Structure 1
Amino acid sequence: DLLAHTCESLAQASVMASDFADYLEGPHRHKAMAIQQIVMLAELAANRMLDNVAIPKP
């Protein structure tokens, strides 16, 4: 459950950073987009971990 919540939180953070970058220009926009990409990469890594987790059967 914790890993699934982490994936969802990272996805939301990625969207928020992207939306925030839309209001910026120049170097500030580039920094915000770099943050968004880092968060997106973390989200991809967390999703990959989630795919590899063996869920115990009841």
Structure 2
Amino acid sequence: MDINDVRGLGSVFALIAFTGIIWWAYGSSRRKRFEDDAKIPFGENEEMPTDSDNKRSN
């Protein structure tokens, strides 16, 4: 077994891992969760502190 065989096995492993991740990410059983998670930035925000709240009192 030389370096080219190791590179070939590494490529096959990377392709299998990539395909598995794509299958996991786009699987229908996780679609609802990912759609809900995608809406998080547009949800109701908590009140953010203003600049006057951040100033030190002397």
Q: TM-score range by the shorter chain?
A: 0.3 to 0.5
* Higher relative contact order, chain-length normalized (CA < 8 Å, sep 6+): 1
How does the TM-score come out when normalised to structure 2?
Answer: 0.45
- Name whichever structure is richer in helix by fraction: 1
TM-score when scaled to structure 1? 0.45
